[in-house]
Amino acid sequence: MMKILWEDSWFVAVSKPSGLLSVPGRGPEKADCVIRRLLELYSWIREVHRLDQPTSGILLLARAPESHREMSMAFANRQVEKEYVAMTEQRPLRGPNVEDFQEPQGNQWGCIVLYQSRDWERRPRQHINSNGKRAETLWKDDGEGRLRLRPFTGRTHQLRLALASCGAPICGDELYGGSQASRLALHASWLRFTHPFTSEVIDLRDEVPF
């Protein structure tokens, strides 16, 4: 079930369940998605960012062309803060092809930096490629296999590839070697931004379901 977390005349934020597409895919079997469901409630809806189909959590959408334009720019300019929670079977370690790896120190965040691109022979996978785009992920160990993750960049499968490349694939991640589970244990738990029209700081949180 998809729950509305917050809305005003410009935006709506929902808790996307794992397994639901953010936008329509190709073919009638992939028509069901967040956009389609919200168009039953609102006259105009566009996504300003996306979550992978198996990822759950906070998804922000615009209710007007003006708000879509402003928030798309905010995401592109890295003015939106995001945090995810993931479950892994072991702690990340430096990977052989990772550009930079830093362990968290105290209350500070560690960092995983790599360069990635689409793996055309194994689509939709991504892989590490020195000619790819820079992907920077901040991480912190919360104990009992839980990691808090903050992507500084917004690459496709960034969090999944970063952890798999450091020997800690996310539980349930069939693409990147995660252990078997009923779902991908990755949840978008926090999102914060400054409202482009009211200047209010919008702080959204969604309970982790695993």
Quote the tokens at residue 63: 């209710």
List CB contacts of 24: < 8 A, sequence separation 6 or more: 30, 31, 33, 35, 36
Rounded to an integer, what distance in angstroms lies between the CA atom of residue 32 and that of residue 151? 27
Task: Report yes or no: 193 and 80 within 8 Å, Cβ to Cβ.
Answer: yes
Rounded to an integer, what distance in angstroms lies between the CA atom of residue 56 and that of residue 209? 9
**Is 52 designated active site?**
yes
Rounded to an integer, what distance in angstroms lies between the CA atom of residue 131 and that of residue 137? 18
List CB contacts of 69: < 8 A, sequence separation 6 or more: none
Rounded to an integer, what distance in angstroms lies between the CA atom of residue 154 and that of residue 53? 16
The CB density around residue 99, as the number of other CB atoms within 10 Å, is 14
Catalytic residue among 32, 52, 173, 206: 52
Bond before 96 cis per omega within 30 degrees? no
Active-site positions read 52
